[in-house]
Amino acid sequence: MKATTECIPCYLKQAHSAITAIISDEAKVDRLMKRIVPYLSETNLQLTPAENSTVILKEVNKLLNTDDPFYRQKCQCNRVALQWEGELHSYMERSPDRLKTAIKLSVVGNVIDLGIKEKVDIKASFEAIFAEGFVLDDSDHLIDLVQGGKKKVLFIGDNAGEIVFDKVLVRELLRCENEVVYVVKGGPILNDALMEDVREVGMDRLCRVIDTGSNWVGVVEQHSSPEFMKAYHEADIIVSKGQGNYETLTEMDREVFHILKAKCDVVARALGVRRGEMVCKLI
């Protein structure tokens, strides 16, 4: 998915989120934001929105003299998400269709996204997905593929905190005797999950976990490690969470089950849905 000029305000919003994550003084924020604006000239409509975001965010980090402005917020997201594990277990125990329920619970975790929206209502997202379902829904196809087991599933994660919700789906994939490799970022960018988040929430005790080899938003092939690309090409099924992964993986050569909430008009339009709607789509 290529960027559009509509993405430009989002680059600035993400920059503002990164700056205000560690600086509260309005005058300092103002000065830093004005120093970021010239870097918009380095963005490119031939790139994905995720790649352009990365260009801007790397410059923000240089100005802030940090590589992880969202560190404290990510820790908080993990703590909040872990508080919902009992509720997730309860949903699964009551479910007559465990895999379908696990897929729905996984998308609920996608609302935890500091790069777009700092205040989230997890309970409302629970209610929405079970009341309305996916607007684009290929979950039955995914279920058909994994129910027989013996598949290599590459599960590309998104945000810190969200991993807790992904654990539910990973468990079900493993229960069906599939091999699962879970993927996080190779370095800090926005609130994307890292190996330390995996260890904090216990995903590493469920399945093998690797990283992309880079700190680029989404998955950018030329910045990805040989280990990740090997897993990518060897996988029978690829499951991806979130917009950044959607924006970049749709530029690559594999079909992917995208599980996400459309959080901006550009992505929503590309998917053919309305902003705020949830999707499980093979693309």
Q: How confident is the model at residue 119 (pLDDT cuts 50, 70, 90)?
A: low
With a cut of 90, say whether residue 244 has pLDDT above it: yes
pTM for the model: 0.95
Average pLDDT score over residue span 121-141 = 88
247 in the same domain as 114: yes
Which of residues 64, 93, 112 is at a domain's end?
64
205 in the same domain as 103: yes
What is the structure's pLDDT at 232? 98
Domain that holds residue 257: 71-282
What the block records as the tokens of 1 is: 């998915």
Average pLDDT score over residue span 212-227 = 97
18 in the same domain as 80: no
Which of residues 64, 80, 102 is at a domain's end?
64
Question: Lowest-pLDDT range, 110-114, 139-143, 183-187?
Answer: 110-114
Which of residues 25, 46, 64 is at a domain's end?
64
79 in the same domain as 19: no
195 in the same domain as 91: yes
Residues 236-240: contacts with CB under 8 Å, at least 24 apart:
236/145, 236/151, 236/152, 236/153, 237/142, 237/145, 237/146, 237/151, 237/152, 237/153, 237/154, 238/153, 238/154, 238/156, 239/142, 239/153, 239/154, 239/155, 239/156, 239/169, 240/155, 240/156
257 in the same domain as 125: yes
What is the structure's pLDDT at 129? 85
With a cut of 80, say whether residue 114 has pLDDT above it: no
Average pLDDT score over residue span 152-156 = 98
Question: Lowest-pLDDT range, 8-22, 127-141, 163-177?
Answer: 127-141
